Amino acid sequence: MTDSNANMPDAKGYFGEYGGQIIPPQLIDIMNDINDAYDKVSQTAGFQDELQELNADYVGRPSPVYFAKRLSEKVGGARIFLKREDLNHTGAHKINHCIGEALLAKYMGKTKVIAETGAGQHGVALATACALVGIDCEIHMGEVDIAKEHPNVTKMKILGCKLVPVSRGTRTLKDAVDSAFEAYLEDPVNYIYAIGSVVGPHPFPKIVRDFQSIVGKEAREQFLAKENKLPDVLIACVGGGSNAIGLFTAFLDDAEVKMIGVEPAGKGLDTPDHAATLTLGTKGALHGFECYNIQDKEGNPLPVYSIASGLDYPGVGPQHCYLKDIKRVNYEAVDDKACLDAFIKLSRLEGIIPALESAHAVAHAMKIAKTMSKEETILVNLSGRGDKDADFVADYLSL
Ligand SMILES: *Cc1c(COP(=O)(O)O)cnc(C)c1O
């Protein structure tokens, strides 16, 4: 696919008809300043060298591409490979963009990084990156989530970030976004907002995508070195879409490589308990940008659900919406049951306990591998490890 629009947003931040800046006029200048600073700073040798060194010596990059032999044999059909983002420091892909964002803040001379967190995964990754870079960090989190996500709350405190409990509204992610954004607007000159996925107003989807694209860049080289050809299919789970676009970006021009984004079908696409935004959503604006989203007839976001808390977002990154419309990427949905089955199978056949988010991608790989030949290959982005989910799954399955 040589359509350059598939890879770069236009000057107003649109991928096709998705993205943009659906924000109050006074914020547009602020966002455009961030965009200009990012375009300049990210091209300097100083920034690139520092980021590369931290990726290598701190995150532990490159993460391996691993052939899951026993899983592949058990399933039958195509061979399944895993890009091991679960082996990164802090255990997931989120550290890739958090270090980029913290470093960008430092180079831009900002004094504080502000963000929201839902289950706490973005909060922990960002607090880690800010400790590393040496910049103040303030995380807003709903009181309901604080009560539920004890280990992540504790980690954020240990890492030295300021945790702001949010007591308004439903006291969950949406209210945390509003609260964090208000705090940011108190001093947008000295503060910077650090978003947790390829979502939000332009330029955030582009910035986060760029920092995550190292995943696919490495994987493409590693796979060629191993197999002398490209994978036939790429698979990644999609919440906001950062780990998926991180893997896909380097392969967008390889027309022979199929790509599949996997959304959570939760308790079933025929129930309200899912977060299959691209599969069942409609176009609309959310959190400052245009995308497919799960909404009512008036355009208000509806509650969404997934067994994997990192996937229950009612919108999705604008580039994914565009890639769906031009049919460069297919989006499928996997339910809780198939996710749990993949979680256990990968654990018991390979000794790899995946994050429940990543287990959605593994489940879809297992489903289609059967229909493919032994000569074909699938590369799955294993976005994170499942330590955070182990107790929950053991209880849920009465292990
Ligand atoms: C947060 C998270 C996701 C979902 O976020 P994306 O932006 O869609 O990648 C997926 N996997 C893991 C392990 C996560 O922590």
Alpha carbon nearest to ligand 1 atom 3, residue: 310
The per-residue pLDDT for 2 is 42
The per-residue pLDDT for 200 is 95
Query: DSSP label at 7?
Result: T
Domains 15-55+94-209 and 61-91+214-396 share a fold: yes
Q: Kindly tell me the burial class for residue 228, based on how many C-beta atoms sit within 10 Å of its own C-beta (0-12, 13-18, 19 or more).
A: exposed
- Map out the domains of the chain as residue ranges: 15-55+94-209, 61-91+214-396
Contacts of 320 (CB under 8 A, 6+ apart): 198, 238, 241, 244, 245, 261, 278, 291, 329, 331
- Ligand 1 centroid–CA 239 distance in Å is 6
* Amino acid, res. 41: V
Is 373 one of the annotated active-site residues of the chain?
A: no
For residues 214-240, give the mean pLDDT.
98
For residues 118-125, give the mean pLDDT.
95
Per-residue pLDDT tens over the stretch 29-42: 999 999 999 999 99
Helix (H, G, I), strand (E, B) or coil at 252: coil
The per-residue pLDDT for 5 is 53
Per-residue pLDDT tens over the stretch 300-357: 889 999 999 999 899 999 999 999 999 999 999 999 999 999 999 999 999 999 999 9
Please state, in angstroms and as integers, the Cα–Cα distance from residue 256 to each residue in 235, 340, 368, following that order: 14, 31, 17
What element of type H or E holds 80? strand 79-84
- Which residues are near ligand 1 (CB < 6 Å)? 92, 94, 121, 197, 237-243, 310-311, 355, 357-358, 383-384
Average pLDDT, the chain: 96
Q: Which CATH class is domain 61-91+214-396?
A: alpha beta
Contacts of 328 (CB under 8 A, 6+ apart): 1, 3, 6, 252, 259
Query: In which band, very low, low, confident or very high, does the pLDDT at 170 lie, cut at 50, 70 and 90?
Result: confident
Per-residue pLDDT tens over the stretch 275-308: 999 999 999 999 999 999 999 999 988 999 999 9
- Ligand 1 centroid–CA 25 distance in Å is 31
Is 174 one of the annotated active-site residues of the chain?
A: no
Per-residue pLDDT tens over the stretch 37-71: 999 999 999 999 999 999 999 999 999 999 999 99
Cis bond upstream, residue 203 (ω within 30)? yes
Residue 172 has pLDDT above 90, yes or no: no
- Ligand 1 centroid–CA 136 distance in Å is 24
Domain at 15-55+94-209: CATH architecture = 3-Layer(aba) Sandwich (3.40)
Q: Within a 10 A sphere around the Cβ of 229, how many other Cβ atoms?
A: 12
